[in-house]
Chain A
Amino acid sequence: MSIRVTVAALGLLVGLSSSGTGQLVTPAMARDSLTIGISQFPPSLHPGIDPLVIKSYVDAFVTRPMTAYDANWTLQCMLCTKLPTIDNGGAVFETLPDGTRGIAVTFTLKPGLKWGDGVPVTSKDIVFTWKVGGDPKSGYSIPHPWERAKSVEAVDDRTVIFHLDHIDTSYNNWSQLLPEHLEAEAAKGENAGDYGKASLYARQPINPGLYNGPYIVTSYETSAQIVLEANPYWPGPKPALKRIVLRDIENTAALQANLESGDIDMTPGEGVGLSIDQVIAMEKKEPEKFVYLYKPSLTYEHIDLQANNPLLADVRVRRALLLAIDRQTLVSKLFEGKQPVAASWVNPLDGNYTKDTANYPYDPAKARALLKEAGWTPGSDGVCRNAKGVPLQLEIATTAGNKLRELTEQVLISQWKASCIAVSVKNEQARTFFGETMRKRLYSGMAMYAWSSNVDESPRRTLHSSQTPTDANGWGGANYIAFANPQMDADIAAIEGELDAAKRRPVWAEMQRIYAEQVPVLPLFFRAEPYALPKWLKGFTATGHGDYSPLWAENWRAE
């Protein structure tokens, strides 16, 4: 009896497995569709509210910004005909009635642009987006806010002029538009937050009229998957892939298994797919199965030094900390050399990068000499002590559970130990680490984490003295190192008010020099975005910055 039941059960399983075409048809076999595994799910697809990485990633398939940085980190028109600049006359300085100096920026939309329901994209949409985006009640929170423009003038159906009342280097960088014909009703709410709740992006995410990119959303299953299909009204090159499925698999081990089984075709590198160690391991195991791509990004892994710690007050100690660690070997051993060592927060791929700064290659002898010069001599236990007998002992904190960071910590601690610096670990859950310890600058010695920046972004939020989180400012700002350098403050103001890239470059160089000389932070490396792509996918380009690869998804094709 039991044998018969077992045989029947196995028969059922085999029957199920061979149902339909006889074998599981994976998306990869279809080749006109692509299934992407993502490890997070977006809260909604509204392009301006809650700008999380996963949301920007999904939005990049369906909603085009006015402008975006391309793979060469150069700003390009996405919806406009020509990028307005001071040089080409698209942007001109103007004096406002109150005497302040501003800029007038003229944008002309490309002809034939339409929303996914066939309604043309017009100047009305730009003016509407500016109104909603600039309304504090709407909940808009994007890196290049719409309120930069004090007024927007619609010249005709396709041309608008933005009037900025100050000089802003991002004057010609503007984000996604909202469809006025669909969203106007939702924007009529009186109370703060009403718009976000009434918006069709939240209530009807599969409404095609919300999207103006090469794809529209045809299915949206919360916390499961999003299905995108070609937008019939897209005026650009017809997307070769008819369908793109974004499947949410939060556990990255399961995500990897899904990739190996063929249930998903690729994992993105923009921080919403596999971790770099997983992709490196896969490449070692199955080098021929996928195309593995590692794109250096603007995400800067580093160690903040606590300005209030007396042991770290002497710049020689800070320099010694940096000289004592072998960052090149660290990235070679842990990341197969895929992540470049950082000299400062400016990536070498950035046009503002300079090589002309103080350098700190691995040199433990020099580190010990510097410490000796600062009054620290090794004790009998191998730990340096000053004249008062105080040991050179520090704590390092990072996000608990992040395997690579914890491994990096161990390597660094052993290297510091060799230079008579004792370091102990005090890791915390990411929520506590970012939500409490960093936000309120409670770490005692060192804190290892990463932050991202935009191409050509001023370092104001992380290095300007006004951005130091304090109780008085409600712990606002991200200058967690409490860096206060008058020259740095002046340089930041200077680059923000100078539109000529050639004139800005020396100022950028000076900021990097100050950073390298003062060592308020120990730079480690720039993260690389790790992609696992199907071998048949062509036309894919990684960017390494916040304007993600799907912004050019119409070029993706199967070969």
Chain B
Amino acid sequence: MNRFILRRLLQSALVLLVMSFVIYGLIGLMPGDPLDVMVASVPGVTPEQIARLRAIYGLDQPLMLRYFHWLMAALQGDLGYSRSHSVPVLAVLAPALWTTCKLMLISFVAAVALSFVLGITAALKPGGWLDGAIGLVAFAGISVPVFWLALMMILVFAVELHWLPASGGFTVGDGGFVDQFRHLVMPVTTLALATTGGFTRFVRASMIETLRADHIRTARAKGNPPSRVVLVHALRNAMIPVLTVMALSFGSLFSGALLTETMFAQPGMGKLIYDAILSNDFNLALSGLLFATLITLLANLAADLAYAWLDPRIKL
């Protein structure tokens, strides 16, 4: 087991190294640089001033040289300086990571819980009216764009009903637990609903297949109550493929968080990475994307470990 974890961690490090090179190169291929925005929007800034700023930010150096400098510093724990926030990258990443993790984890737990309830319910009587209704809801969740869902939630619960705040993380002058919770309700619900649809379909499909397996028939024949057959014998086996999907969904959850954070003005990683890419803040964009990659890799590792726990036949 330990060798497996060590091997996977080394593989992850290699993936991160390759990803850092690819991401840096891709951002570098984008035309223009952040100073062009300044030239276009701020009158009177001279070409000399722009040239000076390019030198200060290192934008006048070859891309590969900049990458090499970044990599050497990163290996020593220095992720560099964020040009667009005027502070070290870690100082911006840490609070944003906390916001996103909070949003992602709560949404993930909510989505998993909801999808298991819906997926199992649908699988118990495939083709029935409840299965059809749940399928409809699930497909709606999959197909509705996150930004539209977010906007509709704002319009209904903030603009029309005035039940919940439309944006932000807390109310200035309050900021207590209830206040922060109220600010999280809509973003979490939006992100969870967007994820639940896909999860529900996977849980349903996996459960239907497992419920037809021989060992389930045996369990039923042994007189186990239906709830035990479903929740203990079937669910454990059905979870193996579902876990893979859930682990892989961390990446898409990140992109969903981007939209959710932008719509609800939550200062999280998604919004931070998006802004960093747009403003050509190489250090910040790169570090943010690598963190996102790392989270996905670790989630996959956790899923592999969970397989062994769920099915003793699997050897790591």
Interface, chain A (partner B; CB < 8 A):
13-14, 16-17, 19-20, 23-24, 33, 41, 43-44, 46, 49-53, 56, 136-137, 139-145, 192-193, 196-197, 199, 201-203, 219, 221-225, 227, 243, 245, 247-251, 253-254, 257-258, 260-263, 271, 298, 431-432, 434-436, 439, 449, 451-454, 457, 461, 467, 473-474, 476-478, 546
Contact = CB atoms under 8 A, between A and B. Distances in A.
B151 interface: yes
Contacts of B165: 24, 263
Contact of A436 (B32, B86, B185): B32
A53 B40 CA distance: 11
Nearest to B160: A261
Q: Which of B43, B52, B53 has the most CB of A within 10 A?
A: B43
Contacts of B169: 221, 224
Contacts of A196: 56, 86
* Nearest 9 CB-CB pairings of A with B: A435-B32, A143-B44, A476-B47, A17-B163, A202-B86, A44-B86, A224-B267, A141-B49, A261-B158
Interface of B: 30-33, 36-47, 49-53, 55-57, 81, 83-87, 92, 95-96, 147, 150-151, 154-155, 158-159, 161-169, 172, 174, 178, 181-182, 185, 262-267, 271-272, 275, 278-279
Given A17-B164, A225-B265, A254-B150, 16 more contacts: A16-B163, A17-B162, A17-B182, A19-B182, A43-B85, A141-B45, A143-B42, A143-B45, A196-B56, A247-B265, A257-B166, A262-B162, A263-B165, A432-B31, A435-B31, A451-B40
Contacts of A140: 49
Contact of A225 (B30, B154, B168): B168
Given A203-B87, A224-B267, A254-B263, A197 B150 contact: no
Given A439-B32, A454-B44, A16 B172 contact: no
A245 B265 CA distance: 14
Contacts of B47: 467, 473-474, 476-477
A555 B155 CA distance: 33
A452 B42 contact: yes
Nearest to A202: B86
Contact of B159 (A261, A431, A477): A261
Contacts of A144: 44
A38 to B, nearest CB: 10
Contacts of A247: 167-168, 265
Contacts of A44: 85-87
B53 A431 contact: no
Contact of B162 (A41, A261, A454, A478): A261
B42 A53 contact: yes
B43 A263 contact: no
Contacts of A457: 43-44
A43 B84 contact: yes
Contacts of B164: 16-17, 24
Given A16-B164, A435-B31, A546-B43, A141 B158 contact: no
A52 B37 contact: yes
Contacts of B263: 251, 254
Nearest to B281: A43
Most buried by A among B38, B168, B185: B168
Contact of A139 (B40, B53, B167): B53
A260 B159 contact: yes
B41 A52 contact: yes
16 contacts: A16-B181, A139-B56, A141-B45, A141-B53, A143-B45, A223-B96, A224-B267, A254-B151, A254-B262, A254-B264, A257-B158, A432-B31, A435-B36, A436-B32, A453-B44, A477-B47
Contacts of B46: 141, 145, 461
Contacts of B56: 137, 139, 192-193, 196
A250 B262 contact: yes
- Among B33, B271, B279, max chain A CB count under 10 A is at B271
Nearest to B92: A222
Nearest to A224: B267
Nearest to A49: B86
Contacts of B51: 474, 476
A33 B264 CA distance: 21
A254 B167 contact: yes
A33 B165 CA distance: 17
B37 to A, nearest CB: 7
Nearest to B54: A474
A246 to B, nearest CB: 11
Contacts of A478: 39
Contacts of B271: 223, 250
Nearest to B55: A192
Contact of A263 (B86, B92, B158, B275): B158
A439 B38 CA distance: 13
B172 A141 contact: no
A254 B148 CA distance: 10
A491 B52 CA distance: 29
B182 A222 contact: no
A446 to B, nearest CB: 17
Contacts of B33: 435
B95 A51 contact: no
B154 A261 contact: yes
Contacts of B267: 221-224, 248
A142 B279 CA distance: 19
A53 B208 CA distance: 58
B312 to A, nearest CB: 33
B154 A258 contact: yes
A353 to B, nearest CB: 17
A261 to B, nearest CB: 4
Residue of A16, A23, A201, A251 ringed by the most chain B CB atoms within 10 A = A251
Nearest to B266: A224
